[in-house]
Amino acid sequence: MKYRQLAVVVMAAGKGTRMKNPDMAKVMYTVGERPMIEYVVDLAVHLQAIRTIVVVGWQKQTVMDHLGRRFEGVICVEQHPQLGTGHAVMQAESMLNGFAGDVLVLSGDVPLLSRATADALITLHRSGRAAATVLTAVVDNPTGYGRIVRDETDHVVGIVEERDASPDQKQVMEINSGIYVFDRAALFDGLKHITPENAQKEYYLTDVFRYFWRNQLRVRAVQAEDAVEIRGINTVEQLEEARSILAMRAVPSGS
């Protein structure tokens, strides 16, 4: 398999309204005494990404200042106004001019993702020569999440949101994590074909998959072994859960 370079785009522009502190960017809340954004950018470093682009927005300066002190070479770009996940990734395009490898899209509020799971995602993406590969998880209660629909060859042929799911699709326990790896050319070509024709008037990153399927481009999926890894942090309660999980991970086995 020919070696391909990796770039990472981290979505970190969100306000985190449910965290109830408008003076702090959501990704700057600490888990294990470190802002959660650090875990995500550390992962990009461990994956040997040649470019790491963090899309900032709410309280951007605190995020940019912290990353500037903690990491070398991280590029920050602003998303303003914030018009959805697809729009966030669009902001990184100019920073990836001349880059022809794969683009891993991470969320700045998902600090528990392991290097092993990210490696598995990238490996399957490359071996399967996919336009995109989705990280998924099987959960006991998938209510509220987008469901993964596969065909008989195990390729992904649909990501169906809860509100659009049929009764049968609502029984699917495999969910979309919002973490993806794309072929760079396919990603930005697809983004040119999405529109904000939805109730929120936003550009959804998942809409690029419809473009891929219309054009017979291959989409694969990898299941995380532990669904905990894909948990996003949107509330104070979820933050406390993540802190507890990280504390348990830090305890040596057998203790």
Residues of the chain with pLDDT under 50: 1
pLDDT number for residue 162: 87
pLDDT at 19: 87
pLDDT score for 253: 59
Q: Does the active-site annotation cover 184?
A: no
Secondary structure string (H, E, C) spanning 133-198: EEEEEECCCCCCCCEEEECCCCCEEEEECHHHCCCCHHHCCEEEEEEEEEEHHHHHHHHCCCCCCC
Report domain extents, the chain: 6-132+178-222
- 6-132+178-222 topology per CATH: Spore Coat Polysaccharide Biosynthesis Protein SpsA; Chain A (3.90.550)
What pLDDT does 154 receive?
Answer: 87
| Count of beta carbons in the 10 Å neighbourhood of residue 86 | 19
Most distant CA atoms of the chain, gap in Å: 54
Reading the block at residue 136, the tokens are 């998924």
**For the chain, what's the residue count?**
255
Q: Which of 4, 18, 129, 249 is catalytic?
A: 18
Residue 205 DSSP one-character state: T
Whole-structure pTM value: 0.94
Burial 222-244 (b: 16+ CB within 10 A, else e): bbbeebbbbbbbeeeeebebbbe
Q: CB-based burial of residue 219 (10 Å sphere; 0-12 exposed, 13-18 middle, 19+ buried)?
A: buried
- The whole-number pLDDT of residue 15 equals 85
CA distance 207 to 118: 22
Q: What is the mean pLDDT of the chain?
A: 93
Q: Are 107 and 40 in contact (CB under 8 A)?
A: yes
pLDDT digits (tens, 9 = 90+) for 24-66: 999 999 999 899 999 999 999 999 999 999 999 999 999 999 9
